[in-house]
Amino acid sequence: MNTTDRNWMYERLGANGFVSPIFRSGLNTFIEFACSNQNSKDGNKIKCPCTKCLNKPYADVEVVKYHLARYGFMPNYHLWDRHGETSVRSTSTVGSTSLGMDDSNRSSNEQHEPSYTEMVLDVAGHDFVTRFLDEEPNPEDKKFFDMLNAADRELWSGCEKVTQLSVVARLLNIKSEYRIPEDCFNSICQLMKDGLPEDNTMVGSLYESKKLIHALGLPVELIDCCRFGCMIYWRGDKDLGQCKFCETPRYQTSKNSSKCSRVPWARMHYFPLTLRLKRLYASQATGASMRWHAENHGHGDGVMCHLTTEESSRSSSHLS
């Protein structure tokens, strides 16, 4: 391939400030080429040659496409040797790298570190990168841009191990697993913020943490309950002022009788199931497992298969 015709790689933005059509077309060509060379891939992932990754980590194709559209190609990468391309003038040197000879030096971090950028793109949808290239982001997309910024944002200048989003996500997971009170969580965040370099991007509270990941779209609903567990105030009972079984008041007695300030005796947390199932199907990490029963059927006699698959096959035979 003629590497001299790749000036488009470094002409990313058009006069209007958006990604230029010639760059979009060339980017699609690059992605197709990189995906066609299995020897330079790590499973379904390819190396990311953007100005931040510099061909070091492997990433999902959509992540690479997003990074290149946002940050551009690393300098002087006219020959795509890390993605399987060779040339006559440098066959001996390029050939070894195109076959992945440098992969032995790849750290386990690059192979197995969970990608928070991929997580956000899973939530945003498979067409998010296309929308990002073709049109100005709407308010809903803007939330995902903020999260993508956080997924790439260094916790402090020069930090390579974690990002702002990865730290917040892990801290929230720790809070949930060990049932850390909100005040304690806030104190931990503030201590970390005070102990890091001055240019750090560490959040300072639980409120800021939740605000950062709000766009992930996994809401929690708080539903008032009877203090003795008789019922929940939901659907047809949502406006009741006392339990219809034990007649215990729903709200605590307060000097301030305004409706907006009433405090219930008890509440339950409700996690809507539908959105969480959609997330499991959308995520590349769990989607294959969620579709397993539908896509994996018996392979004939002598091959062990899942009991549900076997039972389904028997039912089909019986009906036929």
Residue whose C-alpha is closest to residue 164's, from 195, 209, 206, 130 = 209
Share of the chain above pLDDT 90, in %: 42
Is residue 165 packed enough to be buried (19+ CB in 10 Å), middle (13-18) or exposed (0-12)?
A: buried
Q: Which two tokens stand for residue 147?
A: 């999260």
Q: Which two tokens stand for residue 315?
A: 């039912």
pLDDT band at 220 (very low <50, low <70, confident <90, very high): confident
What 3-state class would DSSP assign to 264?
strand
What 3-state class would DSSP assign to 56?
coil
* Residue, of 253 and 261, whose pLDDT is higher: 253
pLDDT band at 160 (very low <50, low <70, confident <90, very high): confident
* Residue 119: per-residue pLDDT: 75
* Residue 281: per-residue pLDDT: 82
Residue-wise pLDDT tens digits, 73-126 = 999 999 999 999 986 333 333 333 333 334 444 443 344 344 777 777 777 776
Distance, CA of 190 to CA of 187 (rounded, Å): 5
Residue 47 confidence (pLDDT) above 80: yes
The CA distances from residue 292 to 76, 141, 242, 258, 279, in Å, are: 43, 31, 47, 53, 16
* Residue 294: per-residue pLDDT: 77
Residue whose C-alpha is closest to residue 152's, from 119, 109, 190 = 119
Residue-wise pLDDT tens digits, 173-207 = 999 999 999 999 999 999 999 999 999 999 999 99
DSSP states of 101-122? GGGGG--HHHHHS--HHHHHHH
Residue 317 confidence (pLDDT) above 70: no
Distance, CA of 62 to CA of 117 (rounded, Å): 10
Mean pLDDT of 300-320: 58
* Residue, of 217 and 65, whose pLDDT is higher: 65
What 3-state class would DSSP assign to 181?
coil
Provide the mean pLDDT of the chain.
80
Distance of CA 94 to the CA centre of its chain: 34
* Residue 91: per-residue pLDDT: 34
pLDDT band at 263 (very low <50, low <70, confident <90, very high): very high
The CA distances from residue 133 to 12, 28, 66, in Å, are: 11, 11, 9
* Residue 87: per-residue pLDDT: 60
Which CB contacts under 8 angstroms, 24+ apart, belong to 206-212? 206/175, 206/182, 209/168, 209/171, 209/172, 209/185, 210/172, 212/146, 212/147, 212/150, 212/164, 212/165, 212/168
Q: What is the pTM of this model?
A: 0.59
Strand partners, 267: 224
Domain ranges for the chain: 3-113, 119-127+135-216
* Residue 15: per-residue pLDDT: 80
Q: State the residue for tokens 């020897």.
A: 39
Distance, CA of 54 to CA of 153 (rounded, Å): 16
Q: Which two tokens stand for residue 9?
A: 């790689």
Residue 254 confidence (pLDDT) above 70: yes
